[in-house]
Structure 1
Amino acid sequence: MLVIVDMQARLLPHLDGAQRLTERVGTLLRAANLLDVPVVCTEQNPQRLGGTADSLLGDLRSAKPIEKHTFDATLAPAFIDALPSAPATLWVAGAEGHVCVLLTVLGLLRLGYRVEYVADAVASRRAADRAVAIERAQQDGARLTTVETTIFGWLGSFRHPRFRDVLALLK
């Protein structure tokens, strides 16, 4: 399952590398759609931070964003209800890397999930905060990965019937 954390319209302009983040998360979402990887998406206090960025909404398909008011999404019952049973593998991306993404990753690890922290699809306001979050996630048991490694892992082989479609997303 792909977990997209707080990719919200009013938050994104304040992030270091926001455009690249939006592109990378969009690529993950489109690949997940092609490969039937389930997606769950969160929104932190959408009344203040707005909803998920319009550029990503079409790629969410039926994954209605889950509203939360906790930084760690695992403290929101609706988020927990949307997850598969542990010890499933969850790929996590979004914003902000050192707050909601990191705290959600730590919560998922405590619940027994295998967590893949998609490092090139995570951003914070400051690059230093993102760097520390990546290190902390890894120290606490998350595995670091990238968008391309994630997608090729989902494919498994160039013989996958959707290989060419997915490859087009990466070019």
Structure 2
Amino acid sequence: MRVTSKQSLLLIVDLQAGLLPVINGGDQAVAEAAWLGGIAGTLGVPVWVTEQYPQGLGGSEPRLLEALPGHRLWRKVHFNAHAEPDFAAALEASGKRQIVLCGSEAHICVLQTGLGLLEAGYEVYWLSEATVSRRAEEARLARERMIRAGATPVSADMVAYEWLERCDEEPFRQVHRRYLKPRSARPLRFF
């Protein structure tokens, strides 16, 4: 199944300033989420950001929020964002059925949110290089479990080009000028 800009929502879970210093690959996750979030904003794909216990873990990473001027912020107490009644109702009302999911910690909040979304009938696309945990092994296990549960692993490039679909229209030119020119080499992490 292809990811389409009309059916997608980018959900960034708990990339919070107080947590990121202890997260393996946290800087890369922020960079990838911000990059794809910028493209989403240009193409009209909604970007939602969650925060868990911000009074203790800090708010979302400022570099991320700077790249996402049109995002919607959700504060949550459940590890599974979809268990928050307002979140679930707003997601249903959005009509979006494809959720591109990333964030921290992969094995706790991202995993539980992904499982909740799958249980509710959404297609979940696990953004591998932007989904991280304190320990790489935990992120790898979470990814494997999500795939077994029915999620599809994707990279930011895969999603961006599927959203764009073609290179001969203005959306591609806008995104290409701002985001798709050769980026600095980023090591891909698939766990």
Q: TM-score range by the shorter chain?
A: over 0.9
Q: Does residue 124 in structure 1 map to residue 106 in structure 2?
A: no
The aligned runs of 1:82-161 (5 Å cut-off) are 82-84=90-92, 88-161=97-170
Q: Report the Cα distance in structure 2 between the residues aligned to 1:13 and 1:165, rounded to whole angstroms.
A: 34
The aligned runs of 1:7-86 (5 Å cut-off) are 7-84=15-92
> RMSD in angstroms over aligned alpha carbons?
1.5
Contact 2:35 2:67 in 1 (8 A): no
TM-score for the superposition, normalised by structure 2:
0.84
Q: What count of residue pairs does the alignment treat as equivalent?
A: 171
**Secondary structure at the residue paired with 1:16?**
coil
Contact 2:10 2:48 in 1 (8 A): yes
Percent of pairs with identical residues: 37
Q: 1:57-85 CA deviation, whole Å, 9 max, x = no partner?
A: 12332323111011111111222133145
Q: Report the Cα distance in structure 2 between the residues aligned to 1:35 and 1:2, rounded to whole angstroms.
A: 12
TM-score for the superposition, normalised by structure 1:
0.94
Correspondence for 2:179: 169
Do the aligned partners of residues 98 and 156 (structure 1) sit closer, same or farther apart at CA in structure 2, a change above 3 Å counting?
A: same
- Letter of the 1:158 counterpart: C
Q: 1:106-163 CA deviation, whole Å, 9 max, x = no partner?
A: 0000000011111111111000001101100000000110000011111011123121
Gaps of 5+ in 2: 1-8, 183-191
Gaps of 5+ in 1: none
Contact 1:25 1:121 in 2 (8 A): yes
Do the aligned partners of residues 87 and 38 (structure 1) sit closer, same or farther apart at CA in structure 2, a change above 3 Å counting?
A: closer
